[in-house]
Amino acid sequence: MPETAALTNPLREGIRLRRTPDPCSMVIFGASGDLTRRKLIPALFYLSREGMLAPGFSVVGCARTPNTEEAFRREMAGAVKKFLQLTTESDAFVEAFGKTLHYVADDFGDPKAYAMLKGVLERLDQERGTSGNRLFYLATPPSFFPVIVQHLGGAGLAKPQVPGKTWTHIIIEKPFGQSLESARDLNRVVTGDFSENQIYRIDHYLGKETVQNLLVFRFANGVFEPFWNRRYIDHVQITVAEELGVENRGSYYEESGLLRDMIQNHVLQLLSLVAMEPPATFEATAVRDEKAKVLRSIRPMPASRVPDFVLRGQYSEGLVGGKKEIGYRSEPKVAPASNTETYAAVKLFIDNWRWADVPFYLRSGKRLPKRVSEISIQFRRVPHLLFRGSGAEGIEPNVISIRLQPNEGISLKFCAKLPGTSMQIRPVKMEFRYGESFGATPPTAYETLLLDCMLGDPTLFNRDDAVELSWEFVDPILERWKQDGGKGLAFYPAGSWGPPEADDFIERDGRQWQRL
Ligand SMILES: NC(=O)c1ccc[n+]([C@@H]2O[C@H](COP(=O)([O-])OP(=O)(O)OC[C@H]3O[C@@H](n4cnc5c(N)ncnc54)[C@H](OP(=O)(O)O)[C@@H]3O)[C@@H](O)[C@H]2O)c1
């Protein structure tokens, strides 16, 4: 096989069946940043190596740091090798990919930067045949989102170059706002220069293979959907646990906290996919309408009821994987008396016919024992137990677990008879694991989402109403916490499953957190 030919990977055959996007230039604002290095460039490299990008595809990196094109290409080649753990066999691919990269250094606040960028894009249109198609990616601190959008508009870069013939899309990273008001303001600014169908608000959780498979699981199988409602489901749990602490992002986290960082976006998005009604088609508007309906149906939580439905915690010193880790308040760039939450558990209800009175328990935290994200659908117990004295009294009810990471897959826990002459019952699991069933790793979330955006498919991106609806839910909680100061903040040792109060939080309803 020639060294630069596309690789064969059975799981990627699926995405290869899709159209190849039109040739385009992708401008990454924040090209010297962590996200670009760790996620965006490796994802683009993979797409290019798989033959998923048009030959003229080009990247223009923009950041403040002065850099030469050559040095930028070298740095990005280093990132690709490091984060994809490539061997020297891939050097030819890396070198070929490097030729698609260009660099423009300037301050995002300087209008001259956009005039220069325009010139570079026009040159690429001529030289590489990118045909006027543009994808702008805002991988910058959020305070620059409005600044860049307005400058793009001012430089005449926001609208498609030839309406009806070329496209211009913009991907906006999270966080999309810090509150309902700021999210609305940002929506207003962005829609001032771009129309909604050009805007791709990214939540990388939605690009994960298992998240998409959740829709296939629910709507391509006849067997599950009839049970997917309040008659059969006792409750739903969504856990997004991280082993890492705040690392070197203390100042960001002090402003954000866990509720904004995880629950407002990733966890509420997962919730909307689990709880949505079947859309009429698998098209962006139909799917996004149903997701928005779920968010609109979440029972509002007035600030006065927050302590009954939300628990917040913060990690203190402890052992993670046998290694001693410092507490949050000792992390760099964190206030020594900080009340910022690094853990939250939320109980909510969705007020509609399908889910009336079914609790949804959401929990997420940093410095928990392991990195794991899972959705668990717990079914009601059988109405009458035949098997008394067989160990059945204490057995757990059926659970469908959708594992998003690691070891993506789906399992069903049910009861089975223990082999032997007596009637002994034990829970067993039926499991599907991506790695085992398909023999290869799925594309990363960023590969999927970048490709979708180039193909003009916004299904897995957030629409303006969904973003605002999730802030509507989160805002009163943040407001109440602000009033309370440190009151109600529970502490947990790093490496534990959250504060002891988190167990009481669910056990007072006669339920337990899933063991993950
Ligand atoms: N990192 C992740 O894993 C991750 C995951 C999900 C979402 N995100 C989101 O992605 C965005 C970027 O995150 P990040 O971690 O990559 O941030 P980062 O490492 O701090 O990078 C910020 C980038 O913005 C550039 N920049 C800042 N001020 C500038 C200015 N005045 N003019 C020109 N360039 C300027 C920096 O350039 P210089 O270095 O040259 O100053 C750098 O390239 C954030 O919104 C974040 O929330 C990140």
- Ranking 40-54, 95-109, 312-326, 380-394 by mean pLDDT, the lowest is 380-394
Residue type, 360: F
Residue 14 near residue 52, CB atoms below 8 Å: no
Confidence of residue 2 (pLDDT cuts 50, 70, 90): very low
Ligand 1 pocket check for 196: Cβ under 6 Å: no
Ligand 1 pocket check for 181: Cβ under 6 Å: no
- Ranking 83-87, 296-300, 411-415 by mean pLDDT, the lowest is 83-87
Tell which residue, 510, 228, 234, has the closest CA to residue 383.
234
Residue 348 near residue 470, CB atoms below 8 Å: no
- Ranking 55-69, 83-97, 192-206 by mean pLDDT, the lowest is 83-97
Give the per-residue pLDDT at 231. Answer: 97
Overall average pLDDT of the 495-515 stretch: 96
Question: Ligand 1: which residue has its CA nearest to atom 25?
Answer: 30
508 pLDDT above the threshold of 80: yes
Ligand 1 centroid from CA 451, angstroms: 21
- Residues whose CB falls within 8 Å of the CB of residue 510, separated by 6 or more in sequence, listed in order: none
Overall average pLDDT of the 327-356 stretch: 98
Overall average pLDDT of the 288-297 stretch: 97
396 alpha-carbon distance from chain centroid: 30
Question: Ligand 1: which residue has its CA nearest to atom 21?
Answer: 33
Ligand 1 centroid from CA 9, angstroms: 32
Q: What pLDDT digit, counting tens, does each position of 357-384 carry?
A: 999 999 999 999 999 999 999 999 988 8
Between 385 and 143, the more confident residue is 143
- Ranking 7-21, 147-161, 344-358, 417-431 by mean pLDDT, the lowest is 7-21
Ligand 1 pocket check for 35: Cβ under 6 Å: yes
Overall average pLDDT of the 292-308 stretch: 95
Backbone phi, psi, residue 429, to 5°? -125, 140
Q: Which long-range contacts (CB under 8 A, 24 or more apart) does 2-8 make?
A: 3/89, 3/92, 3/93, 4/92, 4/93, 4/96, 5/51, 6/49, 6/50, 6/51, 7/49, 7/50
DSSP state of 260: I
In 127-249, DSSP assigns E strands to 134-138, 168-172, 199-201, 233-241
Residue 290 near residue 276, CB atoms below 8 Å: yes
Confidence of residue 1 (pLDDT cuts 50, 70, 90): very low
Tell which residue, 376, 372, 343, 344, has the closest CA to residue 360.
376
For residues 339 and 485, what is the distance between their CA atoms, to the nearest angstrom? 7
342 pLDDT above the threshold of 70: yes
Ligand 1 centroid from CA 444, angstroms: 20
With the most atoms of ligand 1 within 8 angstroms of its CB, the residue from 34, 62, 444, 461 to mutate is 34
Ligand 1 pocket check for 207: Cβ under 6 Å: no
CATH says 10-173 is which class? alpha beta
Tell which residue, 136, 210, 266, 275, has the closest CA to residue 448.
210
| CA angle in degrees (0–180, nearest 5) for 366-369-371 | 65
For residues 499 and 489, what is the distance between their CA atoms, to the nearest angstrom? 9
Ligand 1 centroid from CA 188, angstroms: 22
Ligand 1 pocket check for 31: Cβ under 6 Å: yes
Report helix, strand or coil for 462. strand
Ligand 1 pocket check for 65: Cβ under 6 Å: yes
Q: At what angle do helices 91-98 and 69-84 cross, to 10 degrees?
A: 140
Overall average pLDDT of the 43-64 stretch: 94
For 49, counting Cβ atoms within 10 Å of its Cβ (0-12 exposed, 13-18 middle, 19+ buried), the class is buried
For residues 83 and 43, what is the distance between their CA atoms, to the nearest angstrom? 10
11 pLDDT above the threshold of 70: no
For residues 185 and 202, what is the distance between their CA atoms, to the nearest angstrom? 18
5 pLDDT above the threshold of 70: no
Confidence of residue 394 (pLDDT cuts 50, 70, 90): low
For 55, counting Cβ atoms within 10 Å of its Cβ (0-12 exposed, 13-18 middle, 19+ buried), the class is exposed
Ligand 1 pocket check for 300: Cβ under 6 Å: no
Ligand 1 pocket check for 110: Cβ under 6 Å: no
Confidence of residue 389 (pLDDT cuts 50, 70, 90): confident
Question: Ligand 1: which residue has its CA nearest to atom 1?
Answer: 35
Give the per-residue pLDDT at 117. Answer: 96
Whether 266 is catalytic: yes
Overall average pLDDT of the 301-330 stretch: 95
Residue 35 near residue 142, CB atoms below 8 Å: no
CATH 3.40.50.720 residue ranges of the chain are 10-173
Question: Ligand 1: which residue has its CA nearest to atom 39?
Answer: 32
* HEC secondary structure over 197-228: HHEEECCHHHHCHHHHHHHHHHHCCCCCHHHC
Ligand 1 pocket check for 30: Cβ under 6 Å: yes
Confidence of residue 214 (pLDDT cuts 50, 70, 90): very high
Catalytic residue among 102, 151, 266, 384: 266
E strand or H helix that includes residue 308: helix 306-309
Residue 293 near residue 273, CB atoms below 8 Å: no
Confidence of residue 7 (pLDDT cuts 50, 70, 90): very low
Ligand 1 pocket check for 42: Cβ under 6 Å: no
DSSP state of 328: G
103 pLDDT above the threshold of 60: yes
Give the per-residue pLDDT at 9. Answer: 52
CATH 3.30.360.10 residue ranges of the chain are 206-444+453-507
DSSP state of 36: I
Kindly report whether the peptide bond that precedes residue 302 is cis, defined as omega within 30 degrees of 0. Answer: no
Q: What is the number of other CB atoms lying within 10 angstroms of the CB of residue 228? A: 19
Q: Mean pLDDT score of the chain, rounded to an integer?
A: 93
> Beta strand pairing status for 134-138 and 25-29?
parallel
Which atom belonging to ligand 1 lies closest to the Cα atom of 252?
Answer: 47
Give the per-residue pLDDT at 493. Answer: 98
Q: Structure pTM?
A: 0.93
The residues facing 426 across adjacent strands are 416
Structure tokens at 282: 């698998």
Percentage above 70 pLDDT, the chain: 96
Ligand 1 centroid from CA 251, angstroms: 13
Residue 1 near residue 110, CB atoms below 8 Å: no
Architecture of domain 206-444+453-507: 2-Layer Sandwich (3.30)
Between 291 and 20, the more confident residue is 291
Which atom belonging to ligand 1 lies closest to the Cα atom of 249?
Answer: 15
Give the per-residue pLDDT at 98. Answer: 94
Ligand 1 centroid from CA 35, angstroms: 7
For residues 338 and 19, what is the distance between their CA atoms, to the nearest angstrom? 50
Which residue is listed with tokens 């829709």?
A: 215
E strand or H helix that includes residue 448: helix 445-455
Give the per-residue pLDDT at 39. Answer: 96
Ligand 1 centroid from CA 142, angstroms: 8
Give the per-residue pLDDT at 17. Answer: 55
Overall average pLDDT of the 194-204 stretch: 96
Q: What pLDDT digit, counting tens, does each position of 403-424 carry?
A: 999 988 999 999 998 899 888 8
Give the per-residue pLDDT at 478. Answer: 96
Overall average pLDDT of the 292-316 stretch: 96
Ligand 1 pocket check for 32: Cβ under 6 Å: yes
Between 359 and 389, the more confident residue is 359
Q: What is the number of other CB atoms lying within 10 angstroms of the CB of residue 222? A: 7
Confidence of residue 392 (pLDDT cuts 50, 70, 90): low
Confidence of residue 391 (pLDDT cuts 50, 70, 90): low
Give the per-residue pLDDT at 266. Answer: 96
Overall average pLDDT of the 136-145 stretch: 96
Q: What pLDDT digit, counting tens, does each position of 271-285 carry?
A: 999 999 999 999 999
